[in-house]
Structure 1
């Protein structure tokens, strides 16, 4: 039997869930790249980073090829959203104070962890977070959702989370956005309008998703109960403690801070080029 990736000798916890509206999503992707390097070379144990951003649309690289991207970006900004491009694939997602993001950053210097095993680790974590809720979570593509993928997480056909991976310098970052509260359909409708404005029915080499807002919901809507980031964070810590000999919280080290600044500058430059 293959050992669960959640079972680690120790887990380092970095909590970025309460940094507020000034916390820039470009920083988050720079943090995960920095931690991939630290974990990959063995200077840090396996790390879980949790993060929240306010009113941000994160575009994938493919989204930068939209024919009327500038108009789509202006539409989102008029609705109070900051727009950034991440350093990986996938498509547009919505982040706000009701969306909890979790990164599991794991060592894989020998490249023995296949893609599906990384996804399965995150699925195992979400099932553990929701234990006792008497719901069945499906991991399959939800057509009509934004940023569709083979590991969309859904309940009764409605997507509430999406998983991605980034592999860098001997480390793996398995990342999830978890829509906890507010309206999933309203988030999806915002992205639907963005694509309509950015495409204007023009033919493109890449097929962008045709979003059906009703295919998405938050966990609060699906479970019909109030949820909070703080509740989920407490449960997350309990799960990781049960899977390891030790957990500890920390911020980045001095060495990591230097690398973070380099990675953040790369993100700034990438975003500048994307929107010229």
Structure 2
């Protein structure tokens, strides 16, 4: 199922809770659920980040810049995104989630690169020296700036594959990450932080979101649908409990 676009009541907190909730409980008979959305400004720290001595300073600097700090369920290092970004959370409930772990990185990196190529970008798969939240299957433009990063969570219930695509306003992303990475003690080359708009003026997050929904609809072969009332109620309960 491709979820209808919906801003969740709890904003970034609900965004972080939803993927693991769908992974653990599912939704109706859907075994594969994809959410493609444009988030509010968010600083997504990993649990490893939260154990670093400079974490509190980094979280405070992100808050001061208008980015809500959260702890995301996936691994990696701090990533930031906003309304000029598109986030994809892809949940599959499956009995053997570890099978094909690297293949999924390869598969979705190619899918995302193909979407970006459709906008006229020279999209390349591979890590840039000094990039934020580095990864073998990051996507950059012409070997210069990173614009896509992915992370994966595996549980006994299945897998959650999350991707961030930076579409516009790379300046605010660069500013918040530069300050937070310095606070937390990570190396970072700010020149590697970019967005699609830097190379493709006029492109919007709405356009990229629509192209991604089309690509995932073809890849997954699923229809559109809303979040269930039960899941929304569960999110409200988790948020109230401070989970």
Q: Output the TM-score relative to the length of structure 1.
A: 0.76
Correspondence for 1:44 among 6, 20, 30:
30
Q: Give deviations 1:155-190, integer Å, cap 9, x for gaps.
A: 21210010001123422111101000112x552342
Out of 161, 167, 177, the position equivalent to 2:148 is: 161
**RMSD over aligned Cα atoms:** 2.7
Q: Which has the larger radius of gyration?
A: 1
SS in structure 2 of the partner of residue 146 of structure 1:
coil
Mapping of residues 101-120 of structure 1, within 5 Å: 101-111=87-97, 113-120=99-106
Q: Please show how residues 123-162 of structure 1 align to structure 2 within 5 Å.
A: 123-157=109-143, 158-162=145-149
Runs of 4+ in 1 over 4 A off after TM superposition: 261-266
Give the Cα–Cα distance (whole angstroms) in 2 for the partners of residues 72 and 215 of structure 1: 20
CA distance in 2: counterparts of 1:55 and 1:111, whole angstroms: 31
Deviation at 1:23, TM superposition (A): 4.3
1:247 partnered with 2:223:
yes
Normalized against structure 2, the TM-score is what? 0.85
Matched with 1:95 is 81
**Corresponding residue of 1:71:** 57
1:56 pairs with 2:42: yes
Q: Is the 8 A contact 2:74 2:153 kept in 1?
A: yes
Give the unaligned 5+ runs of structure 1.
Answer: 1-10, 200-207, 270-276
1:12 aligns with 2:12: no
What is the count of residue pairs matched by the alignment? Answer: 242
Q: Does the 8 Å contact 2:89/2:162 carry over to 1?
A: yes
Unpaired runs of 5+ residues, structure 2, are none
Identify which range, 225-234 or 173-182, moves more after superposition: 225-234
Q: Does 1:215 align with 2:202?
A: no
Contact 1:189–1:212 at 8 Å: present in 2 too? no
